[in-house]
Every structure is written in C-alpha cells, then in structure tokens.
C-alpha cells in the first residue's frame, strides 16, 4: 500500500492513503462551512446563515445545511481520535514508556490549545484546534475504556451534547442581530480581536458532539480500519450508506427552514436543530467510510499515484497549515475590520471563494510536498520541548 518513490508528491513511507486523503478532501467542506461565518450586515437565519433574495444563495444555503454544516467537523474529530491512537501505538512499538507517551500527548494537546488561541485572536474565533487540544488531554484517560465502553460513552455523549448544542446554536428563523460570532461585523480591529477571544471560549458549546466522533475514531484505530480498508469493506459500506443517509435526512428539514419552505415555531425549530446536530456525527463517519472505500479502490487499481490523488494527500499531510491558511485569507478579505467583503458577499459568492481558496491550498501543498508544513513543524518543535525536531514529511 505504501509507495516509497522519491517524487515530490509521492507518499512517504509509513503513511496510509485514507486518513490523508480524507483530510485533504474534507478541507473543502471545512472551508465552505467556515466562510459563511464571516458574512455579516444582513438578516440572519438558522445557524447564522445570512439571508438574501437570491434563489442561488438560498439553494447554496440549503445544500450546505443538508450536507456540510455540523457534518464536516465530526469527520475531522474522528480522524483526530484515529491519529491519536495511531501515534500512541507507534510510540509503544518503538519502546516508549507510558510516562513519555503521556508527556508527548500532553505537550501536543497544549500546543494545539496555544495554536487555537492565536488562530482565534488573529483570524477565526470558530477555531477547532483549542477544543481538540482539550479533548486530547481527556482522551488519554478515556482510551483506557474497552471497545464497548468507547461506544457506550460515544452514544450517551452524542444524545446529551447534541441537545445542548442544538439549542445553543439553533437560533431563530430570522434575526437582524447575530446570536454569536459578533466580531466579524465589528469595524474596530482591536475590539474585534477582543470579541474573537470571547467567542473562541464559547465555541466548544457549538462543537460538543465531536467527542463522540473522536471516540469512534479511536475505536477504528484499534482495529486499523483506515489502514486496512480492504479487510473492513462490509463495515465501511454500512457506515457510508447509513451515516450519509441519516445525515441527509436529518439535515434536510433545517435546510427547508433556511430556504423559507418551512416556518416552524420555536419548539419545533429547537427539535429540528437537535435532529440536525445529532445526525451530523454519523454523517461525518459516513463520509470517512466512503473515502476509505474510494482509497482502497485507488490503491488496488494503482491510481493512487495519479497527480490529483497525491496532491490531495499532500494537502492532508499538511492539513493544519492548510486549515490556518484558509482562515488567514478569509480574515483578510471578509470581516468588517479588514476589507469587509463579507458585507456584500452572498452564500453563493462565499462558496465560490471557499472552493477557490481550498484549491489554492491543494496547489500549494503539492508544491511544498517535499517539505513538512510550517504549522506541523512548529507543533513538532513544541512537542520536542523547544529542541530541534527531526522533520518527517506529513507526520
């Protein structure tokens, strides 16, 4: 499965296609989800999507709510849990002590929290890195659970957290004021920075359910599901069909509300918001399963060495750098405190911008493929305690 050719975008030894391909591909939905948060100065609908009279904008909003909103981040959380277990397993196989492993995970988690704070202050208060860092600290203990314990906790947490999260970010059908993420409409840069830090602290309440996806990802890593998708095809097919299907079914009602087809009362709206959130985790897992099946086909047919696949994998290997690059570009162009394009970009134009920025990061990652990403290098340096860390491309 692993190629060791020396071409710039070849897969480094020790890398598996599925996780990197999933990260590279799903950075596009992440960009689509994040860019909408930057839009402002118009009425807001459910989950803070801006409202316009454009039919195209309404279609884009409906598609995003059905397929991406609350669905992309759970996939990344599952990959985070998978990668955490994979890292711990590798270090144990290399003879690392449990104390050393805990110290590495702790420093890695603290590094993500630090990155998240800087990211939020300078660019994007909807940052996920800090929340991942906090969950990484908790996961060290949670990984002591059995497989059944992981599933039980994931289910209990999903049902509970989705209720809190659904109510917290559901909002009203139409509002002239934002219920969260106020900073993007503030013209004063210093005031906006202060508010972004406040919003960053509040962000986990809108991302509570990702812990469930992270726990399922940890279970999958124990059984090497993404490293050996060919051995798990029946499971992956079921998860893909049921997960994506439930995600579409759970996201469609809120999409109809956002496009004006439905006008429910507050109680029904809260219920639909909960349904939207609770089905987001299986949808994210379904996307991961589908990508794993595609990756297996690509490897089996030898098409995994196509330039487009290798470029996407290079993006996945540098997902942290690419994720931060997206935010920097959006932060320069869209908030009221910078160029202010978010005041007149509709959802369709914003989606076009997001996909363009994602494509640029893929292109940049492919060019940078013989070197580790800058953000990944800084994280490794932080984990090493400030000592020079040997660069391992994409790891």
The answer on pLDDT for 280 being more than 90 is yes
What's the confidence (pLDDT) of residue 169? 67
How does pLDDT run across 52-94, given as a tens digit for each residue? Answer: 999 999 999 999 999 999 999 999 999 999 999 999 999 988 8
The confidence band for 128, taking pLDDT boundaries of 50, 70 and 90, is: very high
Contact residues for 322 (Cβ-Cβ < 8 A; gap 6+)? 27, 315, 361, 362, 364, 365, 373
The answer on pLDDT for 3 being more than 70 is no
How does pLDDT run across 91-125, given as a tens digit for each residue? Answer: 988 888 888 999 999 999 999 999 999 999 999 99
Asked whether 186 and 111 are in contact (CB, 8 A), the reply is no
The answer on pLDDT for 11 being more than 70 is no
Average confidence (pLDDT) over 124-144 = 93
Average confidence (pLDDT) over 10-19 = 67
Rounded CA-CA distance 27/269 in Å is: 29
Structural domain contains residue 5 = no
How does pLDDT run across 192-204, given as a tens digit for each residue? Answer: 999 999 999 998 8
Structural domain contains residue 3 = no
Average confidence (pLDDT) over 294-299 = 96
Structural domain contains residue 393 = no
For the chain, how many structural domains are there in total? Answer: 1
Structural domain contains residue 315 = yes
Contact residues for 371 (Cβ-Cβ < 8 A; gap 6+)? 391, 393
Structural domain contains residue 6 = no
Owning domain of residue 297 = 17-383
What's the confidence (pLDDT) of residue 178? 81
The single-letter DSSP state of residue 176 is S
Structural domain contains residue 301 = yes
């Amino acid at each position: 499965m692993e190629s060791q050719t020396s071409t710039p975008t070849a897969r480094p030894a020790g890398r598996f296609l599925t996780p990197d391909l999933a990260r590279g591909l799903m950075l596009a939905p992440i960009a689509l989800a994040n860019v909408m948060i930057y839009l402002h100065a118009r009425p807001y609908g459910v989950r803070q999507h801006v409202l316009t009279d454009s039919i195209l904008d309404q279609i884009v909003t409906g598609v995003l709510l059905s397929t991406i909103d609350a669905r992309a981040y759970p996939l990344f959380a599952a990959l985070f849990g998978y990668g955490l277990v994979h890292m711990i397993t590798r270090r144990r196989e290399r003879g690392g002590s449990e104390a050393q492993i805990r110290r590495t995970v702790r420093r890695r988690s603290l590094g993500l929290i630090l990155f998240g704070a800087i990211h939020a202050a300078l660019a994007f208060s909807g940052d996920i890195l800090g929340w991942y860092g906090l969950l990484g600290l908790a996961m060290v203990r949670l990984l002591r659970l059995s497989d059944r314990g992981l599933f039980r906790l994931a289910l209990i947490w999903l049902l509970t957290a989705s209720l809190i999260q659904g109510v917290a970010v559901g909002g009203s059908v139409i509002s002239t004021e934002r219920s969260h993420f106020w900073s993007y409409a503030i013209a004063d840069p210093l005031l906006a920075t202060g508010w972004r830090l406040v919003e960053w602290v509040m962000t986990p309440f809108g991302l509570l359910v990702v812990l469930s996806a992270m726990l399922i990802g940890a279970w999958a890593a124990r059984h090497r599901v993404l490293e050996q998708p060919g051995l798990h095809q029946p499971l992956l097919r079921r998860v893909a069909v049921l997960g994506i299907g439930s995600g579409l079914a759970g996201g469609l009602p809120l999409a109809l509300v956002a496009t004006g087809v439905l006008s429910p009362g507050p109680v029904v709206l809260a219920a639909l918001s909960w349904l939207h959130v609770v089905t987001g985790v299986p949808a994210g897992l379904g996307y991961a399963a589908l990508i794993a099946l595609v990756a297996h086909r690509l490897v089996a047919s030898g098409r995994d060495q196509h330039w487009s696949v290798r470029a996407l994998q290079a993006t996945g290997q540098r997902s942290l750098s690419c994720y931060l690059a997206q935010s920097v570009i959006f932060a320069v162009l869209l908030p009221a405190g910078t160029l202010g394009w978010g005041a007149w970009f509709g959802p369709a134009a914003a989606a076009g911008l997001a996909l363009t920025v994602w494509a640029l990061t893929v292109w940049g990652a492919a060019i940078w493929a013989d070197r580790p990403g800058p953000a990944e290098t800084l994280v490794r340096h932080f984990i090493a305690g400030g000592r020079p860390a040997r660069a391992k491309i994409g790891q």
